[in-house]
Amino acid sequence: MDLLNTLVDKGLRRELPTREEALAVLATSDDDLLDVVAAAGKVRRHWFGRRVKLNYLVNLKSGLCPEDCSYCSQRLGSTTGILKYTWLKPDEASQAAAAGLAGGAKRVCLVASGRGPTDRDVDRVSKTIKAIKDQNEGVEVCACLGLLSDGQAERLREAGADAYNHNLNTSEATYGEITSTHTYADRVDTVNKAHAAGLSACSGLIAGMGETDEDLVDVVYSLRDLDPDSVPVNFLIPVEGTPLAKEWNLTPQRCLRILAMVRFVCPDVEVRIAGGREVHLRTMQPLALHLANSIFLGDYLTTEGQAGKADLEMIADAGFEVEGADQVTLPEHRATAGGGCGSHESAGCGSQESAGCGGQHDGAGCGSHEGGGVCGTAAAAPVVTEPRTDLVAVRRRGAGTDLAPNA
């Protein structure tokens, strides 16, 4: 296809596709899907080889959030039955992080529900960052704590944080439909604060919330303008008890097109498959590794993920390799630029959701993993099978429990 040849050429030159080209990727047919994956895969391999970066989430504080994000199981008034607990102690968080690092993760994403941290909360998280880094040389730490006030990003940076995650989630035009307790501009402001403080910015989206193709392209182009080092792509996990529990708009093919579009628009950025990959990509997860160069290992914030051992086997069977702690994630031109990174010596580190937590599925200000949309252009709406509620399970192990985590 001329379209795909053009997009590959642009991706190798870091040239921005037109909006029409991005929309055309989302409108391709299932007959063309493998061609789309192969084309975006060329761009992914050019900048990131066959490496897959592993990230591990630690939910520092679960539930009890005053925000009303429709996709989130930790939202105000939630009836989802998730684990609810207040702040983990630094040693508890460090023990939880150790499980993920032992499984091959090189980045730990520290997430806490809530509108944003108080100065006391920043002190708590700073002690947790120190505990993790004292016990794990070279580990990357990303914080995801919600909306930041002036000076807080700098304090986190001084405490040793490498990155900060705060997702845009959806387009500015539709943001008010999913959240009323804060604004799209609030989220942009927090990403800019992280950038300004020298943290590696991580910001992504949620697909599957009923958005149009135009909405998806809008938010990805907005992310490109913000220039985060990592873009977590979450696929809505429709958790019972949330307003979006009935939104099952995604097919595996749709998810692959979305990931391909993100890769073409953000060719040299760490694209992370965050929440919802097991629910919506299912047996086609290995194909997604040809598009994204980063995933979360094991469970998410409030829901269970694929077994960590299965993740590692999937990566190996698909012909990819786990990125080592001594390898730089980002291409050299990004790793050495301004506030970006990719090495432990630089200001940030080019990685996740959640990221930071780019990958989550929950949390007022943290990378969620839920989202997705139906096509708003030429292609017909995807034919979605029966909702796979059997694949959605509330997390009952790991942080906040006495049971071993899934890593």
Flag whether 272 is marked binding. Answer: yes
Q: Which residue has the tokens 């909306």?
A: 147
Instruction: Write down the catalytic residue from 144, 202, 255, 366.
Output: 202
Say if CB 83 and CB 394 are below 8 A apart. Answer: yes
Instruction: Write down the catalytic residue from 51, 272, 334, 395.
Output: 272
Instruction: Write down the catalytic residue from 142, 144, 266, 349.
Output: 142
- Give the C-alpha separation, 90 to 362, whole Å: 22
Instruction: Write down the catalytic residue from 109, 255, 357, 375.
Output: 109
- Give the C-alpha separation, 381 to 224, whole Å: 26
Residue 400 tokens, joined? 């906040």
Reply yes or no on whether 375 is catalytic: no
Say if CB 61 and CB 85 are below 8 A apart. Answer: yes
Identify the CA nearest to 364 among candidates 83, 86, 166. Answer: 166
Burial degree of 85 (CB within 10 A; 0-12, 13-18, 19+): middle
Instruction: Write down the catalytic residue from 69, 266, 341, 375.
Output: 69
Say if CB 299 and CB 96 are below 8 A apart. Answer: no
Reply yes or no on whether 341 is catalytic: no
Instruction: Write down the catalytic residue from 65, 144, 341, 375.
Output: 65
What are the CA-CA distances from residue 405 to residues 57, 200, 299, 399 (Å)? 11, 27, 8, 7
- Give the C-alpha separation, 83 to 382, whole Å: 34
Reply yes or no on whether 366 is catalytic: no
Reply yes or no on whether 50 is catalytic: no
Residue 255 tokens, joined? 């998810």
Reply yes or no on whether 155 is catalytic: no
Say if CB 206 and CB 355 are below 8 A apart. Answer: no
Reply yes or no on whether 109 is catalytic: yes
Flag whether 72 is marked binding. Answer: yes
Reply yes or no on whether 266 is catalytic: no
Binding residues for [4Fe-4S] cluster: 65, 69, 72
Binding residues for [2Fe-2S] cluster are 109, 142, 202, 272
Catalytic residue numbers, as ranges: 65, 69, 72, 109, 142, 202, 272
Q: Which positions make up the binding site?
A: 65, 69, 72, 109, 142, 202, 272
